[in-house]
Structure 1
Amino acid sequence: MKLNSSVAAVVTGGASGLGRATAAALAEKGVKVAIFDLNVEEGEAFAAEISGTFCAVNVASDEQVDAAFRKARKAHGQERILVNCAGIGGPAKTVSRARDTGALSHFPLDLFERVIQVNLIGTFRSVVKSAVGMAALDPLEEGHRGVIINTASVAAEDGQVGQAAYTASKAAIVGMTLPVARDLMSEGIRINTILPGIFSTPLMMTAGDKVVDALSAMVPFPKRLGRPDEYAALALAMIENDYFNGEDVRLDGGIRMAPR
C-alpha cells in the first residue's frame, strides 16, 4: 500500500512507546493518523504534534472502541491501516509461596482476565471493527482494501516466570494471525503480527540503568534494547509490501528469553 495523505490510519496505544513511534512514522509519510489511548494528556499533545486526532479509549470497552472509531472516521474518513499496540502486563506466578510463612497463593484470576481482556480481546475487538469498515471501501490495486498490524511479544514463544497471563494473551494473538488472514483474504485485507523483544519504551526505562544494562547484555546482537523506531520501520514495511500477509515476525536482536 502506498502511504500518502489519501490514507487514514488508527494506532492503538499510540500515545507512547511502539505505538507513538509508528504513528509518527506514518504521519511523516502524510498519512492521517488517529491515536487511540487512555493517556489523554500525552495523547492530545502528540496528536496535535502530528496533525492527527486523539481518541480517549480503553480497548477493553466495546462502547469506547465504537465511539473512538466514529470520531476517527469523522475526522479522517475510513481507515485503511490499523496498528494495534495497546496492551498491559500483569506479572504473577501461577502458584506462589511466601518466603516468611510458606503460605501458598495462586495467580489472581481477576488479573488474568484483565490481561486477556485488554491484550487479546481488545486487539481482536479493534481488528473486527476496523476490518468491517475496510471491507466497505473501494479496492485499490490488485483488490487491496486495508492492512492490519498486531503486536504480540517474544513472550508468546519464550514466556518467563510470572508471565502466564501475558504469554497466553500474546500467544493467542500469534495464533489468530493466519486464520484471520484467511478470513479476510476475499475482502482484500492483510494482517501480520510483530513479536518485539526488549524495547526501550518509557515504561522499560523506569526500571533504571542497572536493569536496562543487564537486559541489554542478554541480547546476542546488537547488545542493546530495541528502539521504537525499529518497530515502526518493520510495521511500515509490512504495510507497504503488498505480499506480506499472514506472518508472525520476531524483532528481538536474536534473543531467546531465559526462564527468569
Structure 2
Amino acid sequence: MRIEGRTFVISGGASGLGRATCLTIAKAGGYVAVLDFDESLGTEVVSELGHEKARFFKVDVSRTESIASATASIQVWTKDTGKEIGGIVAAAGIGKPAKIINSKGEPLDLGEFDHIMAVNVRGTVDLCRQLLPQLTSVTRPIANKGERGVVILVSSIAAFDGQPGQVAYSASKGAITSLTLPLTRDLAPHGIRVVTIAPGVFATGMTGNMGHRAIETLQKVMMWPKRAGRPEEFASLVLEVLGNEMMNGTVIRLDGGIRMPSKI
C-alpha cells in the first residue's frame, strides 16, 4: 500500500521497536500517531519528527477509556490534515519473568498474570477494534484496488520457544499469534490485511536488563547474525509488510534463526 500521505497509529511508539517504526514510517512519507504511556519519551519522538508529521497521544492500552480518548483525537487530527488512517502497528507490550511456582513454593501471582494479559492481549484487541471503524471507512482505497490498510500485530518467539518464567508472557504472545488468522478473515472483506511479526532477541528496554551470563548463553545458540536485532531492522520489516500486498494472514519470525533453549 502507499505510505505517503497516510496516517499510521503505533502503540508503544515512544521507545524500542515502536519508536523505530515511527521514525521509519515518517521518513517514508507517512504521518504517525505516537501512542504511549511515557509522555516524556513520546514528546521527544514528536519533536524529532516535527509536529506536522507526528502527534503524541498518552495512552494506557489496558484501559478502554484511554484508548477511546486517543481514538477520538486521532480522528480529529486526520480530518484536519486530510491524511486518512492507513494502518495500525500494535507494538505496546510488557513482560515480567515469573515461574508458575517459585523456589519458595509460592504460586504465580494472578495479578501480575492479569496485568500482562491486559496490556499484551486485551490492549492489542481493544486498540484494533476501536480504530477499525476509521480504517474500514477510508474513502480512498489504494490505487483503486480496494486496499484500505494494514494491521500489524507484535508477537514474540516466546510464543513458540517459551522459557522458564515466561508462562504469562508466552501465553500473551501465543494469543496474538493465534488471533492473526481469524482477524485476517474478519477484515479481508474490508480490504485490510493483517500480519504478525514475532521478534527474537532485540536491543530494546525489555531485553536491556538481561544479565551478562544470559546474553553470553543466547549468543551461543544464535545462528546468524550472532547479535541482538536492531529496532530499525524490525521497522524495515514493517515497511515491507505495508508495501507487499501478498503478505497477509501470516506470522513472521524475525529472529536470525535462533531457537530459544530450555534454560539460560
Q: State how many pairs are aligned.
A: 254
Structure-1 residue corresponding to 2:59: 57
Classify 1:203/1:170 alpha carbon distance in 2 versus 1 (closer, same or farther; 3 Å): closer
Q: Does the 8 Å CA contact 2:151/2:192 hold for their aligned counterparts?
A: yes
Deviation at 1:243, TM superposition (A): 1.4
User: Aligned partner of 1:86: which letter?
Assistant: A
SS of 1:54's partner is: strand
Of residues 201-210 and 11-20 in structure 1, the stretch that sits farther from structure 2 once superposed is 201-210
> Partners of 1:210 and 1:76 in 2: how far apart?
48
Deviation per residue, 1:100-136 (Å, 9 max, x gap): xxxx210101111111110001001111112221111
User: Aligned partner of 1:189: which letter?
Assistant: I
Deviation at 1:45, TM superposition (A): 1.3
Structure-2 residue corresponding to 1:136: 137
> Partners of 1:63 and 1:121 in 2: how far apart?
13
Alignment of 1:1-260 (within 5 A): 1-4=1-4, 6-51=5-50, 52-77=54-79, 78-98=84-104, 104-138=105-139, 139-140=141-142, 141-207=144-210, 211-260=214-263
Deviation at 1:2, TM superposition (A): 1.2
> Partners of 1:189 and 1:129 in 2: how far apart?
15
Q: Does the 8 Å CA contact 2:85/2:138 hold for their aligned counterparts?
A: no
User: Aligned partner of 2:151: which letter?
Assistant: I
Deviation at 1:210, TM superposition (A): 5.2
Gaps of 5+ in 1: 99-103
Deviation per residue, 1:35-89 (Å, 9 max, x gap): 0001110101111211210000000111110111222222234421110110000
Of residues 134-143 and 155-164 in structure 1, the stretch that sits farther from structure 2 once superposed is 134-143
Deviation at 1:177, TM superposition (A): 0.3
Deviation at 1:204, TM superposition (A): 2.2
> Partners of 2:155 and 2:9 in 1: how far apart?
17
> Partners of 2:96 and 2:213 in 1: how far apart?
22
Deviation per residue, 1:2-41 (Å, 9 max, x gap): 111x200110000010000011000001111010001110
> Partners of 2:214 and 2:19 in 1: how far apart?
23
> Partners of 2:115 and 2:122 in 1: how far apart?
10
Deviation at 1:95, TM superposition (A): 1.4
Q: Structure 1 runs of 4+ off > 3 angstroms?
A: 206-214
Q: CA RMSD in A?
A: 1.4
Structure-2 residue corresponding to 1:101: none
* Fraction of identical pairs, as percent: 38
Q: Does the 8 Å CA contact 1:205/1:212 hold for their aligned counterparts?
A: no
SS of 2:150's partner is: strand
